[in-house]
Structure 1
Amino acid sequence: MSSLNAPLQHLDVLDAEHDAQYFEYSKAANPISAGLISRIPYQNFPSSLYDTGPSRVVPLDLSEALGCPGPATGPGLLANFIRLNAGDSLTLAPVTTSQVVYVIAGRGQLVQGSTRFEWEKGCFIAMPGIEAVQLSASEDARFYYVHDEPLLRYLGVVPAQQQFSATLYPAHTANAKLREAADDPRAQDRSRISILLGNRHFPQTRTVTHVLWAMYGILPAGSVQKPHRHQSIALDFIIDCPAGCYTLVGTDIDENGQIRNPTRVDWAPGLAFVTPPGYWHAHFNESQSEAFLIPIQDAGLQTYLRALDIRFS
């Protein structure tokens, strides 16, 4: 008997329709406005979370506010602080495609699979997620650490292959590249003075991984980085700053391009804070010294989806 004439398998219609739902468009098309899903909250995370104590990973967890089933700083990303005391080791093994570490302080070694290298203060490290990472410290170390485990948890997937290998961005190289950008005669005419970390495996997005985007930037003395917005979440880390540096964040701008009714985030060395996607934000340095920051975002993914929508006032 041909397959065309084979008897149809009996289906239990009630079981097949059990999960089906139907919604009138205006009540479902914008679930944030309808109160079905929460906005990403403003939140600051001070350096006191990791300044002292035993070696540990400190998740910057907003999962309760976000309604996420596991630790998350944004719907698709989790930021962490790590403290690793001299002589100690930690194993990092999240279910993730992409991880980025910035070495706030210290010195030591990283091992992932067959890859092994030394790291020190000021280095950036990008790592895939299939193989566990071991960090060992030869002197007291601290890290800012972001990965995309919440995204994979939401999708119900695990990574099947590595898209890149563990990649080191040495401090002396990153600092030289940033200073080169700052010393360019045209630097003051640009929207910001910064470098983006890239990887040769992602030529379309020019990002540090296929999901994550990492910027290393200077906010010069007496300067303002004008209001801008994008659809990626920004998990900002302040490397160093004098008093008088801050960020203004808000949902709208006025006819003069200034943020209406902004929330102010005062900077401090070692501070991390969340800038929600789609919100206007501007950075200010009212001091006489430079400040340094690292925003890490899910803009690699957003750029590939053609949904980043970055705008400047």
Structure 2
Amino acid sequence: MCSGADEKGGEQVAGRAGGMAALPAGLAAAPGNAAEARARYFNSANAFNIHLDPVPAHIFTAPAAAALGPEGAVTGYFLCDQSARLGCPWPATTPFMLARYARIAPGARLAADFAASGSIWYVIAGKGRVYGAGAGAGAGAGAGAGAGAGAGAGAGAGAGAGADAGVAEESALAWSRGDVFYLPAGASMLHADGPDAAVLWLVTDEPLLAYHGLRSARPDDAAVHFKAGDIAAEIERIHRSVPDAGTSGLAVVFSSEAMQARRNLMPALTLSLNTLPPGCAQSPHRHNSAALTLIVAGADCHSRVDGETCAWSDWATLVTPAGAPHSHHNEGPRRADFLIVQDGGLYYEARTMGFEFLGG
């Protein structure tokens, strides 16, 4: 018997009921307790045709402009949030990632305590220190109140005083412009040193954990710090080498002692600093991971994402949806640098990354 045909006269059983896809969710006929009452039954016609809003290709410029605004701007976070377009009940830039900018006024503090497995940071401007959440030996005693996934811009978005009291100076991680650092889950406090405001870009996997209703607990996780000078030296080393056939670009990929077997910086997220020489274009390609790109340097550059041209602007955040054909183009006189976070760790682990060059 094929296609649901009734043996009596060959009539389509589903046809009598208006089609399998139209059937409502089935319920327990006589639930004897709350667990049985929570059961729902679907079928092979209506369980796999759920419509989800597509992830839009987008370039965020307003959050960067707000974070890099004139002196006197508030200390706080500026989210790259397109949850409304994703139909998502929590802040999200893509289904599994959230990007934001942090601004810390001179001498001010900003708390960081996200419902994430960790956070990846890039220092756009300024310098400072971070305490807590594995920032150094003995760190963690003085971390302040958290700034969760929904924290927006404003003096109250995680700013606090006295949060690092009692934390030894050697436990701090000192950062400056061009540095990259990773913070494990848990409460941290960032402090801006010097006469100028500090501005940072950061990405977390908060939407992924929110989807599962989880909060990370990895007690042995520790901070990782990549100094700007070391990053520059690695870039130069790569540019002096000869790329192997099939290499997708000239990039430094960041990992750690704990994650080096996977070449990730976090279990779910990968980080790379990509470069593109003047007058060059990266070959069109696609992959199953979504990507968030911070434009670090790139005059007269643009990206092509799913057939759309996305013009670059300083420190903007570009969203490349999962599976979207894309390429990057440098028509300017200087090398382009762009930092990319992907949720590629998930797809590498599942053996479903699906990277391919598209030609053209």
Q: TM-score range by the shorter chain?
A: 0.7 to 0.9
Letter in 2 for 1:137: A
Give 1 or 2 for the bigger CA radius of gyration. 2
Report percent identity of matched pairs: 29
Cα separation, 2, equivalents of 1:110 and 1:173: 20
- Say which is worse superposed, 219-228 or 195-204, in terms of deviation: 195-204
Cα separation, 1, equivalents of 2:246 and 2:42: 49
- The reply to whether residue 84 of structure 1 matches residue 139 of structure 2 is no
Letter in 2 for 1:198: S
Match of 2:58 among 33, 37, 43: 43
Gaps of 5+ in 1: 1-10, 251-261
- Say which is worse superposed, 178-187 or 73-82, in terms of deviation: 178-187
The aligned residue for residue 158 of structure 1 is: 215
Aligned residue for 2:348, secondary structure, equals helix
Aligned residue for 2:238, secondary structure, equals helix
Match of 1:287 among 332, 347, 352: 332
Match of 1:226 among 275, 278, 283: 283
Instruction: State the 1:310 CA deviation.
Output: 1.6
- The reply to whether residue 29 of structure 1 matches residue 48 of structure 2 is yes
The aligned residue for residue 256 of structure 1 is: none
Cα separation, 2, equivalents of 1:57 and 1:228: 33
- Say which is worse superposed, 189-198 or 117-126, in terms of deviation: 189-198
The aligned residue for residue 184 of structure 2 is: 128
Letter in 2 for 1:231: N
The aligned residue for residue 239 of structure 1 is: 296
Aligned residue for 1:176, secondary structure, equals helix
The aligned residue for residue 248 of structure 1 is: 304
Instruction: State the 1:163 CA deviation.
Output: 5.4
Match of 1:107 among 86, 108, 127: 127
- Say which is worse superposed, 159-168 or 269-278, in terms of deviation: 159-168
Gaps of 5+ in 2: 1-29, 134-138, 140-170
Instruction: State the 1:16 CA deviation.
Output: 4.0
Structure 1 residues 190, 302: CA separation in 2 closer, same or farther (over 3 Å shift)? closer
Structure 1 residues 30, 247: CA separation in 2 closer, same or farther (over 3 Å shift)? farther
Instruction: State the 1:26 CA deviation.
Output: 4.3
Match of 2:268 among 211, 214, 223: 211
Match of 1:71 among 70, 88, 91: 91
Instruction: State the 1:28 CA deviation.
Output: 3.3
Letter in 2 for 1:70: W
Letter in 2 for 1:213: T
Q: Note if contact 1:230-1:277 (Cα within 8 Å) is conserved in structure 2.
A: yes
Aligned residue for 2:282, secondary structure, equals strand
Letter in 1 for 2:48: A
Instruction: State the 1:112 CA deviation.
Output: 1.6
Letter in 1 for 2:177: K
Aligned residue for 2:203, secondary structure, equals strand
Q: Note if contact 1:193-1:218 (Cα within 8 Å) is conserved in structure 2.
A: yes
Structure 1 residues 103, 195: CA separation in 2 closer, same or farther (over 3 Å shift)? same
Letter in 1 for 2:205: D
Q: Note if contact 1:214-1:294 (Cα within 8 Å) is conserved in structure 2.
A: yes
Spell out, residue by residue over 1:38-80, the C-alpha distance to the aligned partner (whole angstroms, 9 max, x if none): 1111222113131212111011111111122211111111100
Cα separation, 1, equivalents of 2:308 and 2:46: 30
TM-score (norm 1): 0.86
Instruction: State the 1:301 CA deviation.
Output: 2.5
Letter in 2 for 1:207: N
Instruction: State the 1:124 CA deviation.
Output: 0.4
Letter in 1 for 2:192: A
CA RMSD, 1 decimal? 1.9
Aligned residue for 2:197, secondary structure, equals strand
Q: Note if contact 1:89-1:135 (Cα within 8 Å) is conserved in structure 2.
A: yes
Which protein is richer in strand relative to its size?
Answer: 1
The aligned residue for residue 96 of structure 1 is: 116
